[in-house]
Structures are given as structure tokens and as C-alpha cells.
Amino acid sequence: MEPISTTVALPMDAAEEKVRAALADQGFGVLTEIDVAATLRTKLGVERDALKILGACNPNLAHQALEARPDVALLLPCNVTLEEAPEGTRVSAVDPFELLDDPDLRDLAEDGRRRLTAAIEAVAA
């Protein structure tokens, strides 16, 4: 799978603020947040570079997709990750078009791809 991604010369906190704002501009809200590094530290005593997963959802796109195929719920919400990188923070989003290989969902997947790409590009700008 090829993600939609960029690396920005920002610390994680600043990059996350930009990501949340860019997602909101594209109609996405963040439903879930997982601090993977903190979870691994707590559960396994493992130290790793910062990694956070944001579960982003565009309610209109989600509703339309669920109406067409209820089992698409298995792929919701769309994951957007922020990961510490030597150059700053790597920001990546799942490409819905790659996940939704279904003719009934092709237009929605394209719209989701377009919106997530716009959000990631806005973070890099």
C-alpha cells in the first residue's frame, strides 16, 4: 500500500496542529487518537520514536460509503499518522482509493483521496 505522505520540518506537536486544521478544512474530524509510543512503553516497556495515529472521518463520505456497502465500516475511520523523523515529522494518510477496490465506491474513494491529499499538501505548505 502506498500512503499519501510528506515530511515537514516541524516538531510533532506543531505538525499535529497543522494536520488537524488541514483535515478540518477538508471536512474531516478526528474521532480517535492513539499514542503508539506511549502504549508500547506502558504495555511492553519498549521505547520507540514518537508515533501517533489519528482516526479521521468525513461524515458525508462515511455515510455514503456505508449506504453503498455496510461492511466498509471495517475500514473506518481513515488513519492519519504522525511519526518522528530525522527531518521533523512524517505525516501519512491511508489512500482510500487503494483500499476500496469496488466500482460502487470508486467515486467516493477518489473524493476521499483528493481531500486527504489536499490536507497533507496543506500541512507541507
pLDDT per position as a tens digit, 25-75 = 999 999 999 999 999 999 999 999 999 999 999 999 999 999 999 999 999
- Cα–Cα distance for residue pair 99/18, rounded to 1 Å: 25
Domains and CATH numbers, the chain: 4-124 (3.30.310.70)
**Percent of the chain clearing pLDDT 90 (strictly above):** 90
Q: How remote is the C-alpha of 97 from its chain's centroid?
A: 13
Residue 100: the pLDDT is: 83
Rounded to the nearest 5 degrees, what angle is found at the Cα of 79, between the Cα atoms of 108 and 77? 60
115: left (phi over 0), alpha (psi -120 to 50) or beta: alpha
Residue 86: the pLDDT is: 94
- Cα–Cα distance for residue pair 52/72, rounded to 1 Å: 23
Written as one letter, the residue type at 15 is A
